[in-house]
Structure 1
Amino acid sequence: MAEGLRTAYQLEEDDIATILPEEEDKFNGEEFNKQFLQFDRDRIQKINQKGKEKFEQGYSKAKKEVLDQLETEARERFGVEDDELRGIDLIDHIVEINSKKSKADPTKLTEEQIKSHPSVIKLLNEKEKSFKTREEELKTEYDTKLNNFQKERTFSAVEKKALAIFDKMNPVLSSDPERAANQKSILINDLKGLDYQEDGDTYIPLQEGKRLEDPHGNGVSFEKLVQSRAARYFDFKKAEERDTPPAGGGDGGATGFPKTEAEYAKIVNDQNIPLEERLEIKKKWNEAKSQS
């Protein structure tokens, strides 16, 4: 779990140590959820701020690139060699050159005459067109990245809820934790093919922007979706196949109470067994040892 928090959510070691104590019996689920959500909100706020700053930097850079390109073209078209002239000063100089060619006194030109000059009009129109095009490109790029980020964030929560539903179905998984995780990823990758809309404490499956429906036109609930997709790939334990605690012995939930040190070690390290159940077994195991 610590590696997942470090890799997927970029949490610092100190933050992980705060919400995930080394001793499992000190784990507090409510405090974990509270602190984890706060860390995640802080992380999202930083990402959004970086995205905004990046967009503004790109916007300013694009604006400068467009202006530089137009000024370069204007100098070449009207034979202006002075690279120091920029913006309105460059336009004034171009107007002055063309006015002299037509034997007109540039000092007598009004602002309206300058603005109505064909060369100035063309230059300003090209500038406006290029700037708007680049602005739209940047906005589209930013919106796409933002939508992808929000989609990934939503699916992160969808994945957690889907696995919780899946675990309650008692799937037949490998006893090896790594293989079991790989098996679960089959279901998760299948669910990635849809979009999801948050609806209270659950999610509405969407396909091509519309709610997913069954062959009868009824909306498919999130739980039904997970169950049907899981049934494509997994078998599930029947009630009689689940371990039960020995008569007169300690109660370890759905998992049988260990009889040996080896069985105990295997149970408390099995990530497929709910944490609360493993903690209960650990508690009863320690009580039994203290009485022996």
Structure 2
Amino acid sequence: MEAPLMHLALVGTPNSGKTSLFNALTGSRQKVANYPGVTVERKEGSFVTPLGRQVSLVDLPGTYSLRGRSPDEEITRDMVLGRTPGEAVPDLVLCVADSTNLRLTIRLVLELKRTGRPLMLVLNMFDIATRRGVTVDVAGLSDALGVPVVTSVAVRKGGTADLLRRTDEIAAQAHALTQHRRNLWQPLTIAQLRATQREADRIIAATVSLPARPDSWTARIDAVVLHPVAGLAILALILFVMFQAVFAWAQPLMELLSSGFGSLGQFVHDTLPAGFLQSFLQNGVISG
């Protein structure tokens, strides 16, 4: 018996690499349209998992929260909650995170958990985070959040292998794809959002290690030129020197060059006989 079509939704903050991951998974098997009644772009594609399961993937607009303060955020919220007419309820929500900056995405994951949808966190751009010295305890982060966590490098061949494997594992758990079709989700209040952010910060502090600030000459220079007071003073000094160089200090040199080319033109005029060559050199090459 053929497995039913699996519906996945990509959710993430802007600039998290969500679109790159969508392109890596779907390739040329994608179509672009607009959501009914709005001008927000709708991107949908398909792919096949290693075990041969057909998957439909929709790339939802970037959002920082499910509060829905803009048309894009409202569409993402309603799609996740299954409130969009004519759209399939996601069997699995993939929350894409920029591995170099997890703070806002972890809060979004905690909000998505409250919807009751099957959820997986995808740590995208994991190679860049590693090169920058960011260390993520993937297993510890998964335990702290209570959701599967995988790493991904969307721009590299084979960089989505772990994601595809885990998708097959989740799809094999039939109950995970049918639980909580209806939920009692309510938007968070400001106080609840702050509490959720504090919880996200606690989880990040326990599972993510940032590199120590290197004691290099570039770091010492940055400490001066990026200082909120000294940096502005240095910028003002550089601009003053540039304007002085152009409008004041360069004047004697400009006059010297002008006089030199004038003398050279006069020399050509006095040396060569009148004609095309004289005019070309004096009025064309030298004056030009």
Structure number with bigger Rg = 1
Does the TM-score normalized on the shorter chain lie above 0.5? Answer: no
Which has the larger strand fraction?
A: 2
Which has the larger helix fraction?
A: 1
* TM interval, short-chain normalised: under 0.3
TM-score normalised by L of structure 2: 0.22
